[in-house]
Structure 1
Amino acid sequence: MSESNSTSSEPLDLIRLCLDEQVFVKLRGSREMVGKLHAYDMHCNMVLSDATETIFYTEQDSPEIKSRTKKSDMVFIRGDSVILVSDAANV
């Protein structure tokens, strides 16, 4: 992708614009995280602070989808589990 005079010419440039901002990250395994983005790399590995992880699950005898949350001061997210990254304000 090559665009002249543009603030984002590569896909990871969109993530760069979210540095030091709240982001929403959808992960494999029916998990989602919201937190402040501190760092990322070309593999979409990320470091979030003040993160809240939501895990969605069903119990064996019930079709109802339930969730539980877990808070962390600092968390590393491995890039191969990332499905989607968005500014948390847009979610």
Structure 2
Amino acid sequence: MVDDVDKRQTTNTVEEPLDLIRLSLDEQIHVKMRNDKELRGRLHAYDRHLNMIMGDAEETKTTIEIEEETYEKIHKSTKWNIPMFFVQGGGGVLVAPPLRVG
């Protein structure tokens, strides 16, 4: 007899939050991290704590500096590519799966 977990793994339905992550395996996702970091990359694996393995990832860190003369905020972004990346589940604030049309 097939239990509920086995049924969810073989269908494209979303009944629990982690089902949405499961449907995003091997697809590009966007992860917003603490400390003004963002990741975009291919989701290879995850667990129930939302630890994730991402490949072909691009990390973007945004910093804000204050102009000394005008006191204006200057947003600066630094990007770098990482071939394989481990994301600790507690560090993520938002996980956005790919947009599905249809």
Runs of at least 4 residues off by over 6 Å: none
Instruction: Look up the match of 1:42.
Output: 48
CA 1:37–1:31 in 2, change beyond 3 Å: closer, same or farther?
Answer: same
In the TM superposition, what is the alpha-carbon distance from 1:16 to its structure 2 partner? 0.4
TM-score by length of 2: 0.77
CA contact (8 A) 1:22 1:35 kept: yes
CA contact (8 A) 1:34 1:88 kept: no
Percent pairwise identity:
44
TM-score by length of 1: 0.86
Unaligned 5+ segments in structure 2 are 1-10
1:9 aligns with 2:19: no
Q: 1:65 aligns with which of 67, 72, 75?
A: 75
Q: 1:53 aligns with which of 59, 63, 74?
A: 59
Unaligned 5+ segments in structure 1 are none
Instruction: Look up the match of 2:5.
Output: none
1:20 aligns with 2:26: yes
SS of 2:26's equivalent in the other structure is coil
In the alignment, residue 84 of structure 1 is paired with which amino acid?
A: L
Instruction: Look up the match of 2:4.
Output: none
In the TM superposition, what is the alpha-carbon distance from 1:87 to its structure 2 partner? 2.2
Distance 1:34 1:88 in 2: 10
Larger-gyration structure (1/2): 2
In the TM superposition, what is the alpha-carbon distance from 1:23 to its structure 2 partner? 0.4
What is the RMSD of the two structures over their aligned residues, measured on CA atoms? 1.8
